[in-house]
Homo-oligomer: A and B are copies of this chain.
């Protein structure tokens, strides 16, 4: 019986333009790491949280990784799956977690989702993988819900499973796996400023929208899903326009309008806010353009808003969260 495991869960870009609370994709990096080992007493203990600047709770009932881990642990205990998996021996019923935040907090990159996914995956790996990966989704969502207040799976699903996901509906939860065009490259730029997710969500939640705004996003959603199936990156770029959330949120991100223009001028096919921001993402069809767009977006943040930033470029992460050595 293994005593200790390490897992990585990637950051994710949710909304993807028109798909508020519906679309998300995983990127290669950054991401969070969680380590887990058995402990003698039952339940979840968080031994340490690192990389969070002391901002995240170590109370396992309030830490998203802890909540996700506890949700899975309880499921395994109730179902008897863990005992069966471990050769009939009565397995330990407690785990100890180390949560290593390796991505910025409140960045719009699905940090709480990554930690939730890593918490659930770490426990599953520790117990010898009793559940298939997609069966971990409800447990990771239990963690994410602690951070977000509402259940939304558009970061958790891609962080766990990889690829580009659409949440068709929540009753019951239905996650669709959309095709990933091989040439697609993502550019994600995180400026050193914060947008409080809860405030950014409230801005949208408390608004009401005329039908033509919904129609605009519906048209772009049709375009985006068709583009992924066709592998038509130009259409994908055109379809990233968001009339629902972006107009309400873009003012929260200093320099964002200039960053969008700079991205397009540097060859991006489309550009929008990642999640509730402040990170911005763009799409391109090759690595060279992606690097050029990343540089242009960083310069725009610096020149327009005096913001330092870091950029991540690369393909969609099609594997999602995974065990690491």
Binding site for B on A (CB under 8 A): 18-23, 166-169, 174, 176, 178, 204-205, 207-211, 213-223, 225-226, 229, 235, 238-239, 241, 244-245
Are A20 and B225 interface neighbours, CB within 8 A? no
CB contact between A209 and one of B19, B22, B208, B229 (< 8 Å): that residue: B208
13 A-B pairs within 8 Å (CB atoms) are namely: A19-B218, A19-B222, A20-B211, A20-B214, A21-B215, A168-B235, A176-B226, A178-B226, A208-B209, A209-B209, A221-B222, A226-B229, A229-B229
Query: A22: which B residues are within 8 A, CB to CB?
Result: 215, 218-219, 222
Number of copies: 2
Are A223 and B20 interface neighbours, CB within 8 A? no
Known: A209-B209, A214-B244. A222 touches B20 (CB 8 A): no
CB contact between A217 and one of B176, B205, B214, B241 (< 8 Å): that residue: B214
Query: A217: which B residues are within 8 A, CB to CB?
Result: 214, 218
Known: A168-B238, A226-B225, A239-B168. A207 touches B218 (CB 8 A): no
Alpha-carbon gap, A245 to B218, bound state (A): 13
